Structures are given as structure tokens and as C-alpha cells.
Structure 1
Amino acid sequence: MPSVWNVPHRRNPHFTGREKLVAQLHAALTSRRSTALVQAIHGPDGVGKTQLAVEHAYRHAGAYDVVWWVRAEEPVVLAADYAGLARELTLPESEAAEQAVIVAAVRRWLEQHTGWLIVFDDVRDPEDLRGYLPDARTGHVIVTSRDPNWRGLAEPVHVPVMIRSEAVEFLLKRTGQTDEAAAAALAGALGDLPLALEQAGAYIAATEGTLAGYLLLFRARREDLLRRGARPPDDPAIVTTTWEIAFRRVEQETPWAAMLLNVCAFLAPDGIPREIFGDAAAQALEGSAAEALGDPVVLDDAVLELRRYSLIAAGETLCAHRLVQAAARDRLPEDERKTWAHVAVRLVNAAFPDDVGDVGQWPACSGLLAHALAALGHVESLVVTADPVGRLLNQVGAYLRSRAEFQAARACFERALHIDEAAYGPDHPNVAAIANNLGRVLQDLGDLAQAKAHLERAVRIDEAVYGPDYPEVAKDLNNLGAVLHDLGNLAEAQACYERALGIFRRSLGEDHPHTQAVREDLDFLRSQTRRA
């Protein structure tokens, strides 16, 4: 394998057909035509775009020194995953605070070296890749996307559903059966859609059923789903039906596996860390969820069961297809959707580092970022505001601010402020902490008037809660002083710094880093005042 490799998917042992597409992709990437060095695999969900990229990566691994997988659905996750390559390459910029600096360093390295493959998986908007595609013709890029409009950025490769002969070949290979007529009938009912074919084949293999028997089951279940109006947002009932058949079986045989899938449905599809379950889940959750997801042995059984029915893929991390996630969420009544979305938030919150300013914690934050954003997105759409939604939003915002993703950080802080104001009231210390963070990122964005207002509010709340000489008040005052300094209100800024310095000296001591930092800010301001 290449010395640098982070593909989150195992190679599919049942990969069948698609040889023309695999060969076309490889030939284009090795043709030395500049436009062909970026291949954009596009098509609807479930046709196997990601599987095609995975197969190329494994089949041609020997041709590369670096194979790097980037989750590209969310721009901030795209930036974090791309920047993560800098750590593996031990680039000096890898610990820079601004991700833009790291991204530029990675791009330069790619332009100066050969023998690499970058996969951008599930790109929503082609424009999102503008700053990431290297200019030099030194390596290969594969993009997967539902968007077909790649002219000028990449050479598009349309991935259709399987041709019938490939679908039949796949079903026979996947199930070990020989009835070609039954395989053809089932493939037709499934629309030759690879994801549906895989789920059907996995179910038949797991239950030792027949192709004809599954077709009867599929038709009956589909009629039931259509009668109930249970359709997923992106698919005309095919994947929902194959998923429903498998899930009902899992739910009957292994209820805790169903619980695991319910949680995964509210996280990002790829790279779900096993570490958020086990002991961490036992501490973060309660009741049956804690028992199911908090016991490592039970968790392993659940993973094996879901893999058996091809409901998730598992390696070092877990992966669930987006359509499977959508079907899982769609099946739940609203109150259960709220429950499982909240469970997902609690698990990610328990795993998300406390000190997001610590460079050593950034890899952990980066790995959890996609899952935090996914879970938080679901609780927002479901109007779930219970603990610890505000806390996770605040932590994610603080991490994004530390990486100079200021607009994304601002959005997190504003949501967190709204949630915690409603939950705790306008004068709670949690509200002060978020107002403080929001004020700082508004300062970063140059909105000094709003920054001042939020920081003054933080001072008022913390003074009322803790008294005038508490370290939290000093932190607020120091940040307010910095904004006043930027506004040119030097006398007011000096008063804030002097008061903060006095509090830190009395409470933390002369040599504490907080004390030293305020002293440096105050000395700098005084030097400016003298020059003025």
C-alpha cells in the first residue's frame, strides 16, 4: 500500500461489472491530457460512484505514494480533510492556525511531486473545489458528485445504473446462486441500481434465501410502503424497500444493531469513529441506548450484524450510505427522530475535545467535525434544543475560529446563543461564554460595533453571577479591551486591560499565562499611547 493512505472504505470483494468504467477512468487519468487528470464521476445516489473511486484506489495502489480521501460534502470539512494531508506529509505548515495556509501548502506540495491520488468524495458544488485543485499535471484527482456540470474544472464521467447483464452477474456472484432468469427479474424490479442490488444480495446470502423468494418479498414490501406513503426524499421507493426488508430482519434478530444504525443515520456518512461508542457512550447516554452502544462486545455484534445485511461498511471506522441513512430516518416517527438525533449529538459532544485551542487536539476535532455538523443540522431541522446542543455548537464554533473559519464559526455561535438563551435565560453564565466567543469572532470579521456589544454583555452577566473580581470577568474584560483598542478607544481599552490585569494577579498570580498575556497587551497599548 502507499506510504500515505486514508481511504475509509474497504475494498468491495463483490465488485462486479463496471470494467468498462474502471478501464475508462484509469486510461483517462494516465493519458497525460491536462483536462483528464481530474475525473469527475457523476450520477444519482446509489449508482456506485464512490465504489468506483474505491476500486480504482485499491486496484492501482501500487502506482501511488500518496492516496488521500477527502470528505467534500461540507466546505469546512473539505478544508479540514484536505489540510489533514499536511500532517501526514510532515509539512512545516501543518500546525498553522489558519487552514488556508495549510491548504496552500498542501496544494504546493502536490504541484511539486508526482505519484499521488486525491479523491474528493460527494462534492455538492463544483465551485467548492476551486482552491484545492493543483495547477500542475503531476498527479491524479477523482471527484464524485451528483452534479454533472464540471466543464472547465474536470472531465465528467457519467455513471449510469448497471446494464442488465452486469446486474445479473452481480446477483449470481453475490448470492452464490445460478438461476439467471430469477436474477434478471429481480434486477429489473430493483432498477439495476447497484446499492439496491447489493442490499438484496446481502439479504439473500445472510438468510440463505432464493432470488425468486426475495423478489416476492420485495414486491409485497414495496406495495406496503407505497400504500403507507413512505418514500425517501431522493428515491422512488426502491432503496427504501430493500432497506426496510433488511432492517426488519435486523430489528427482530438483533435490536441493538437497529439502535446503532439509528444513531449512524444522524451522523455524517463516512468515517464514523468507533471511539464515540463503547465506554464513552455508556457515560454519555442512559437506559437501553447506553446498554446497547456502551458495551464493546454488544457493539461488535451490532456492527457484524449490520455488515451482514450490507447496511453499513466497517473498517477502522464505520460508513453508512446516504440513501440508507435517509431511509433509516424516514422510517422513524418524529419523536423517535428527535430522540436519535439527540443521542447522536450527545455522543459527538462527549467525544469533542474541551480545549479546542490546543494544537494537539486539532486532529480529533477535525475527525469529528463532519459528524458534529451533521448531527447539529438534524437537531436544528427537528427543533431539538436540549442539552448539550448549545455546548457542542459552542465547541465547534471555537474550533472553527481557531482555524480561521470565521463565518462558519459565527454561524455556530449565533445558533448556540439562541439555544442557550431559550434554555437558561438571558443572564446565565453559559450565555456569557457564548457571547464572549461571538464577540471575538465578530472582531475577527471586522464587525467591531457588534463585537463590543456582545463582549459588554458577557462582562455584565459574569459580574452579576461571579462578582467583579472573578477570572471569567477578567477574560471578558481583556477581550473587550482588544475590541476597544481596535476601535481606537485607547483610554477605555487601557481601563479594561488594567482591571483584567489586577484580577488575574490577585486570583492566578503574577506568572500565570493569562496574567502575562494581559500585561503584554497593556504594554503594547501604552507604547502606542506614548507615541501618539
Structure 2
Amino acid sequence: MAEQRSGGASADHGGRAAPEHVLVVFPGYHRPWAAWINQRLDTHGVRATLQRWDPPREVPLEDSLGDLLLARGQVLLVLDDWFFELGPRPAGEWNDVLRGFVASQADRFAAVNLTNRTLLPSTAVLEPVSLWGVGEEEAEARLLSRLGIEPRRSPVRRIAPGALVRYPETPPDIWGEVPRRNPRFTGRDDLLTELQERLMDAERGNAACTLLGMSGIGKTQIAAEYAHRFSSDYDVIWWVSSDDRNVQRDRLGELAVALELPTGSEPGERIRAVREALRRGAPHGRWLVVFDGWDDIRDVDVMVPQGPGHVLITSRNLGWREHTDVLPVRNFDRAESTGYLMRRAPHISAAEADEVAAEFGDVPLPLVQAAAWLGESGMEASEYLRMVREGRLSTVDEPSTGEGMPNTSLTSWSILINRLRRSQPQAIDILSLCASFAPGRIPLGIVRAYPQASLPEDLRWMATDLPAWTRALDTLVNYSVLTRETRGPVTSEEAAPQQESIHMHRLVHDIVSRLTDGEHRDAHRKAVRTLLAEADPGNPTDSRNWPRYSELLPHLEPSGALRSTDARIQTTVLNCLRYCDRSGEYKAGTRLAERIRGSWSGFMDPLSPHMQELTTVEGDILRRSGGFREAYELDLARRTLLAAADHPDELGDLKSKICIARDLRFLGQYKESERLQREVLAEAQNLLGETQQLTLAARHNVGVVLRMLGRYAEAYEQDADTLSRCENILRPHHPSTLNSNNAVAQDLRLLGRYREALGRQEANVRLHVKILGAQHLQTLYARSQLALCRRREGGFKDDIGAVMAGVLDHLEQAQGRGHYLTLSAVTNYANYLREHGDLDRARELISEAEAGYRALLGPAHPVSTGVLANTALVMQAAGERTEAMTMLESALAGLTAALGPDHPWVLGCALNATAARNFNGRVSDAAELSRDTLRRARHVMGPEHPLTMSCQVALATDLRGLREIEEAGKLEEDALLTLTRTLGAQHPHTLSARQRNRPYWDFEANL
């Protein structure tokens, strides 16, 4: 259907009458040029209509061109050398029609030429004006001159900046790793047009479409063609390879650098900044992000940006139907299949092309290979088909793709590879080496980057013969076996061979693996794992190395690195696992650790240093992802082996105890954890001395467990000492020092020293953001603690809820909703909402936290029990007083049994239970519990602690209910004086006590 623009004018230029209307006829891939021509004509008062043109081969060319003349005015053909292959047409048909029919209607036809290649000689009748390689101003002048249009000094109508069509020779401001445009891309015009319409017509902020189809159907090619064809519609086009989750996260995060956003290097932080910038449309509102090969859709809500731009996804996963608009990509139409075959292999007839297309079921990938073979070899189609069909009797196994690929595709590949063995054996070497990597992105340049690696004899030429390397890769690219991946804008220089990466489709990888497997496979796998070790940066704790580790990680298993007995390769494997731990990729780390253990257990001593390090890192990942019981069982098994060993391993024993002490703390066994942690500290001091980081970590862990035991003053003394040592030994900016600062600030807050805690934590958070980045997990924890400090200090009225909601959102994006730190943020935010009257949302969140902790820790864990106190407070505020009292009494009994009667959590829960008894008419029982709780609080917390003051105010309220007015008055007056002196007259606690509001206690869920 023609696309029409309004406006009409006529002019006379150089004796030629200017047209009142121009029909712009263009092949689909030149839509950007057609759109630009249309807008230029419109600004000079000439009405234009756009007509995408791909005349059916079965319709005579003269008839198709005659149909164009049904439009009034001038017919402007947008030409290049491929224009004359639309159809394609029998040899000589275009020349005959141009010399005859077009020459007789020469005054109705005009043309622009967009190539520097030679056109058909008879094209001269169209008098094409060349727009190739000229600037926009010159191109506009030539266009107007060819059509006889007098340029207007002032445009007929002004074009809004956002609607201005970019000159096609000008790339978008940011062009990120979009694959090179395939000059042989064929057909799919209707699909591309529909894709553009869906994205343009989608609701603002929700313009996302998924190209869905099987492997080899051409989804990536369509996405790349869309990016090139409609590049003038966008200021930013960013390509994200999504076969691997780590690569995907790093790649999307790299857009933050391209957009010059102020952010650190941690992927989660960068992704957050990118999504926010795209949502706001600043600095660019016209953007396109392409996620190529995204089959694992678990992170869809975290990764897919929203805003004024567009998102394009390619995938095989039908689950995208629940998240985005879906556009199915099916096989070629037969006309597309035959057209492509005849363009690549012009010596075959339409009937032969039809037979080849039918043989491969119109599936693009095997058709590309067939076209490449026929075009490169010049073989007759009948001979090619005979070889393919006879190959069905081959003893080579057929590939099992499970996606409808014709069985004959393997045979076609077999023919191609056999020919390459004869004509370009070095290309086979590269293919065989690629088969020892994982499919997808392959950092092939490491072959040349590390020439010192010990390559097998048949591959040594790769490191020394650059021309042969380039020639072999060019051959494979030409045969569509693989594609090159480049970085930077489309106008940049070619990547150096040492930096070169290629992409091999998983289907191609599977077929190549079958057809090149042979005597050299083991040697090639060994070479790949040696190269991976060479490329290991050696420091997975440095976030600047994370992109490299994410690139190496997928290739560990297919290269056999997990089964290697080479110590250096084993170190690389462990470094990749440490990368998963440090970068927060816990799911990937858990899977990798399981595979490593499965391989190493077959040949490695379970108490060897590498095996013990595996256990340590795997345990850390399990704990940080919430697998506390699994980590404990893993560490216990290691402990049992160490105890039974013939020779003592003091360092291994020490590390084992550290891990078990942490496990016990997470499992709620605080007293046993403290006992073991103190043993660990003493052993570390004796074995390693005071200055080693392991000793400092042991000191820190003692402070953590003291805090969990409710011994806040002891915890503060321990943490302050640890902080001082860390500042002297590790220096103030070390992550461990920052973490110790977190602990000290938390101790101060729990001791009721709110202003000191706030001042320290504000400075600490600034350092966290500067050193670790705003989205690092430790930074998010520090920000969560800062929000609690502000809430307790009482001077912040408006922004605390927003800060808590923001931290919760960031934690969910980083770790998911069920992670223990996320659940802690849910709990704290629910408490805030309840206090400020949003009971419905508070109930929803606290119910989520209660269920989450019960699933994570079990119902008997002190934290699971403590959260019930918060649930009861919501019920009580909603008027469900009987149910709230029952729940509080149950929580009080559970916490007392687990922690003893003097733990601050027990005292706080008892405070809430006194209120519940009072509200339910059991005033005498309430007073009895209040008096006992106050006595214990004074002993444990001190007479001036805010919790002690709350217990005192509660007792005064209960005594007043029993008409013991004199004692109640004395208690109340003393509490007000103490609160005024310690917290200030305007602190919320003081004001609440003065107004005789019943005090309550919020449970803070910390692990």
C-alpha cells in the first residue's frame, strides 16, 4: 500500500516543469532513503507518495512498470545494483524494458543512484543522479535539480526536531555492536513493515516486540536488517547478545558508558542507570535496544527497559507471549526462497531454485548454505540435489534439533565441509577449534593474543600467519558459517585480530561439531582451555575484569576445563566461580560449582587445596543466595574429612570452622556460632597473626554474632576494635573496612545512640557509593541501614519511605524478591507503612515477608518467629485485637524458647504483648508482664535505652488502667525527663510518650 504525504506545489526550474506529485519507488531496504526524499520534497512544497516495490517474477516487467505510471506526476526510482535483481528477472529482461518501454516514457521516469557500482548500461535512459558518498546538503540539491524543483528559502512547513528524518548516510549518535548489514538479505519486507508498525503503534513506554521462531529461521538477520533499515528513526541503537545471562547483563550495562551516565562498573548498577535513562528519554528519546537470542526469560522484568523508545527481542521461547507483543517468524515464502537462491547462484533457473527450496522446506539457514555452495562452486542444481539426496544413506548421524530442521541439512553441510577440506583446509582448522568452544560469542582473538600458549602443531599457523588467518575467516563468513562481531560504531576501524570475536549459531555449532569431530578434537579442546587460562585476568574481585570473566565462563565446560588436571586451568575455573560470587551471579555460580564438583570428585583428593577452595567459594555462594542448610551440610562434610585425615591441616581446619560458624549464625544457632567463632579468632591469631585479612574477618564475625545475641554493647566494642585495625591494615577504602563501619553504625543505632549512628552511616554510604558503586550488594545493605538510622533519629519526615522503597526495588532487581536481604527491606518498609497508616500495603508486604522467611529459614527460626510480631502489629492497628494478641503471645513464647528471656527481641515482643493484653481487657496481666519486662530491660539494655523507656511508659499506662495513679505518674514523669534529655523534646518517642500513646516495638529482620 502506498504511503501518502500531503502538500502540493509546482515550479519551473531550468526550463523543466516541476512535478506536482512524485511517486518514490524503492526496494524495502532503502526505506530510510525514501523517507528522507519524501520529507525533503515535502519541505519544498511537492507532494510525494512512497511505494515499496518488489514486482512478482511471474508478472512481466513492462506490466509492473506500467502500473507505476497510473500515478500522476513523476516516478522516481531509488536505484542501486541490487534493484535490478528484484524478482529476480531472466537475463536481459531489464535491459530490454529500459531500452523500449521506459525510453518511450522517459519524461515520466527519473532516478537517484545510491551505489558506486556499475549499473546496467541501459539505465542511462533514467538519467540517474548520484547521491552516493555526498553530504546531505549536496544530496538535496541534486535531488531537486533532477526533478526540476526550485529550492525554497523557507520551508513550506516547519518540522519538529523529533519528527526530522535523519539523512541516511548519518548513523545514529550511538550505534552499539549491531551486526554488519547482510548485503544478500532477501525478502521479509512485509514482516519488517509489520514489525515497524507494531513498535510505532504500541503504547508509549511499552513498545516491545519479540521475533519468535525456531533456530535457523533468520530472526537475528531480520533484527539486524530492521536496525539498519530503520536507523534513521533512532538516535540510539544498541545490540545485546543474550545467549548467555552474564554477557547479556554486561552488554546492556555497557550502554551506560556509551550514554555517559554517572555510574560505577558493577553490572546491576549500570543496568539500573541505563533503564532509568531510557525511561526518561534522556539524553536520547528515540532509542532501540535489541536483545538477540534471549531464551531464558527469568530476568525479563529486570532487563527489559521501558520508555519512549523500542525494544526488539529474538527468541525461541514461547513464554515471551506473556510479556511482549510477539511476531512469529516463519519459513521463507517460496518466492523469497527462490529469489534468494537465484541471486546467490544466478546460473540456476527458477524451476531449479524451486526444487532446491522445496528440498530444504524453505528454512532460511540450510537455504543460505545451499545458495553459498551453489554460488561459490558453480555446480549445476541437479548435481547438487543428487549429492544431497544420496547423502541420506550416509553413516553420519543426522542432527537432532527438535525444531523441524530438515534432515538433509546435515548432508548439505557435509558437502560444504568436504569442499573446504580440499580448497581451504585452514578454515576447517578454525571450525574444529570453534567446536571446542561453546556456541554463541567466541573470543577467537585469544588465539592470536596469547601466542605463547602451547598450540597443537596443526593450529600453530593461527598465531603466526595473519594473512592465512584473515583468509580462512573470510571464507567462513562468506559461506555464512559464522559472523564476525565488532565493537564500536559502524564507521570504526576493523578490530585487531587479537580482539576479534565471532558468533556461531548453536545449530551451526551442533552440526560442525558432528562433522569435524576426529583425531584432533582432544588436542583442540586442550588448546582452548589453555587459551582460557592465558586470558584469565587473575583477579575476579576487581569489577573491571568481570566482562572478561563473563566471556570466558561459557567455554569452560565444552573445552574440558572442568575435567582438566592442570593446576593453572583449575585456578582459572575457580576464578570464574569467584567471579560469580563477587558479581552476584549466584544462580550461575551454583550451577557452575555443582559441575566443577561433579568433575573434580572423580580424580581430585577431596582435601586438596583446590577442592577445599571450591567448597569455600561454593559455600559462600550458597549462603549469599539463601541456601543456608545446603552450605552447612557442605561445610560439615568437609569438616568430617579433615577430622579423619592422617595429617593435620591447620589452615584448612581454620577455614572450615569459619564457614561452619557462619552457617550456624544463619541457621539461628547464635550461641554455638559464638563459641566456635571465638575458637576461630584465637586460632587465626596464633596461626596467622593479627594483621592477616582472615584474622580481621574472624574479628568481624565475632561482632556480628554478638549483635545477633542481643549483646549490643559488647558487639560495639568488638566492631570498633575491628574497624580500627582494618583502617590501619587494609586502609579506610577497603571493602572490609567499609563493612566494619556498617557494623559500628548498626551497633550505635541498636544502643539507642541514634545521632551518632546517623552521622557515621551517612559518611559510610557516601564511601560505599564511591568505592563499590551504588548498586553493589554491600552498598544496598548500607543504604538500608541508613534509612533505619534516619527513621530512628526522628528528624526526617518525608523521604524515608521513598528511600526504603527505592532500596527495596534495587535489591529486588539485584537478587530477587526471595533473597534474605530483600525480605529484610520488605519487613522494614512494611513497618514504616504501618506506622504511617497504609495498613493495606503494610499487611500485604509483611505477609510476603512472613511467608518468605518461613520458606527460607523454617518456621522455628528466631527471625521467622520475630516477623510474626510485625504481622500482629498490623492486625492490631486494623482492629483485629484478639487475633493480634494470640499471635503475639505465640511469638513471645517462641522467641523466649529460642533466645532466652533477656534477649532484646524477646523484650520487644513482650512490650507488644503487654499492649495486646491491655487492649483485650486483661489489664492486670498486662501490668504484670510490663513490670517484669521493664525489670529485665533495665538490666539488659540499661535504664536510659529507648526500649527501656518504652517499657516504662507501657507499665505506667497499665498501672493507670488499674487506677494506681501515683506510681503511674512517677514512672511517666521519669520517662519523659529521660527521653527529653537523651533524645530531645521533639523526638517522636518523646512526643508520643507525652501524648500517652502506647509504645510498640518493630522487629528488624537481620541475618
Do they fold alike, i.e. is TM over 0.5? yes
TM-score tier after normalising by the smaller chain length: 0.7 to 0.9
CA-to-aligned-CA distance 1:382-440 (integer Å, 9 cap, x gap): x9665577555433322112122223212212221232232222221111111111121
Aligned to 1:228: 395
- Look up the SS of the partner of 2:440 in the other structure: coil
Q: Paired residue for 1:146?
A: 316
In the alignment, does 2:594 pair up with 1:414?
yes
Distance 1:514 1:521 in 2: 10
Shift of 1:523: 5.9
Query: What do residues 259-301 of structure 1 show as CA deviations (whole Å, max 9, x unaligned)?
Result: 2112323434433223321243651533323444675444323
Are 1:436 and 2:616 counterparts?
yes
Is the Cα–Cα contact under 8 Å of residues 179 and 485 in structure 2 kept in the other structure? yes
Q: Note the alpha carbon deviations across 1:455-478, whole angstroms, 9 max, x for none.
A: 4666776998997676x7766665
Does 2:412 match 1:250?
no
Aligned to 1:175: 345
Partner secondary structure for residue 412 of structure 1: helix
Separation of aligned partners in 1, 2:612 and 2:637: 7
- Which residue of 2 is the match for residue 44 of structure 1? 214
TM-score, length of structure 1 as denominator length: 0.84
What does residue 15 of structure 1 align with?
Answer: 185
Picking from 644, 660, 681, the partner of 1:497 is 681
Does structure 1 conserve the Cα–Cα contact (< 8 Å) formed by 2:546 and 2:583? no
Bigger shift: residues 279-288 or 521-530: 521-530
User: Does the 8 Å contact 1:259/1:292 carry over to 2?
Assistant: no
Displacement of 1:56: 0.8
If asked which structure has higher relative contact order (CA below 8 Å, sep 6+), I would say 1
Per the alignment, residue 352 of structure 1 pairs with 536
Q: Which residue of 1 aligns with 2:986?
A: none
Which residue in 1 is equivalent to 2:549?
A: 365
Q: Which of 511, 516, 541 is matched with 1:327 structurally?
A: 511
CA distance in 2, matches of 1:295, 1:461: 52
Unaligned runs of 5+ in 1: none
Q: 291, 299, 302: which is aligned to 1:120?
A: 291
Question: Which runs of no fewer than 5 residues in structure 2 stay unpaired?
Answer: 1-170, 487-500, 716-902, 904-1007
Match of 1:398 in 2: 578
1:330 alignment partner AA? R
Q: TM-score, normalised by structure 2?
A: 0.47
Task: Pick which of 413-422 and 443-452 moved more.
Answer: 443-452
Give the SS at the match of 1:29.
Answer: helix
Distance 2:299 2:271 in 1: 13
Q: Does the CA-based 8 Å contact 1:391-1:416 persist in structure 2?
A: no
**Amino acid across the alignment from 1:112:** R
Please give the alpha-carbon distance, in whole angstroms, between the structure 2 residues aligned to 1:433 and 1:170.
Answer: 56
How has the CA–CA distance of structure 1 residues 346 and 64 changed in structure 2, closer, same or farther, with 3 Å as cutoff?
farther
Alignment CA distance shift 1:407-1:194 (3 Å): closer
- Residue 360 of structure 1 aligns with an amino acid whose one-letter code is R
Hey, what does 2:992 align to over in structure 1? none
Q: Is the 8 A contact 2:278 2:307 kept in 1?
A: no
- Give 3-state SS (helix, strand or coil) of 1:274's partner: coil
**Aligned residues with identical type, % of pairs:** 25
* Deviation, structure 1 residue 524: 5.9
1:83–1:94 contact (8 Å) kept in structure 2: no
In the alignment, residue 140 of structure 1 is paired with which amino acid? H
2:241 aligns with one of 60, 64, 71: 71
1:303 Cα deviation (Å)?
A: 1.0
Q: Which structure is larger by alpha-carbon Rg, 1 or 2? A: 2
Looking at structure 2, the residues matched to 430 and 243 of structure 1 have their Cα atoms a distance apart, in angstroms, of 42
| 2:557 counterpart SS class | helix
Count of matched residue positions in the alignment of Structure 1 and Structure 2: 516
Question: Can you list the C-alpha shifts for 1:456-510, whole angstroms capped at 9, x where unaligned?
Answer: 666776998997676x77666655554455442113112213432444437xxx4
The alignment partner of 1:12 has SS state of: coil
Aligned partner of 2:988 in structure 1 is none
Cα contact 1:410–1:441 (8 A) shared by 2: yes
Segment of structure 1 superposing worse, 349-358 or 120-129: 120-129
Deviation at 1:315, TM superposition (A): 4.1
Alignment match of 1:187 (pick from 357, 382, 386): 357
Do the aligned residues in 2 keep the contact of 1:481 with 1:497 (CA within 8 Å)? no
Alpha-carbon distance in 1 for matches of 2:394, 2:345: 30
* Cross-structure match for 1:199: 369
* Cα 1:9–1:224 shift into 2, 3 Å: same
The question of 1:109 aligning with 2:280 is answered: no
Structure 1 residue 216 corresponds to structure 2 residue 405: no
Following superposition, the deviation at residue 255 of structure 1 comes to 2.4
SS in 1 for 2:288: strand
CA contact (8 A) 1:174 1:201 kept: yes
Please list the CA deviations of residues 175-225 of structure 1 after superposition, one character each: whole Å capped at 9, or x if unmatched.
Answer: 354733333333333332222222222233333x14xx2442243134224
Separation in 1, partners of 2:409, 2:183: 21
Q: 2 CA distance for matches of 1:171 and 1:197? A: 7
* Contact 2:357 2:367 (8 Å CA) reproduced: yes
Any idea what SS the aligned residue of 1:423 has? coil
Q: Say if 1:429 and 1:461, in contact at 8 Å, map to a contact too.
A: no
- Structure 1 residues 34 and 251 mapped into 2: Cα distance closer, same or farther (>3 Å)? same
**Distance verdict in 2 for CA 1:497–1:457, change over 3 Å:** farther
CA-atom RMSD in angstroms: 3.6
Kept in 1: contact 2:286–2:309 (CA 8 A): yes
Q: Is the 8 A contact 2:205 2:307 kept in 1?
A: no
- Paired residues of 2:581 and 2:617 also in contact (CA < 8 A): no
Task: Tell me the secondary structure at the aligned position of residue 45 of structure 1.
Answer: coil
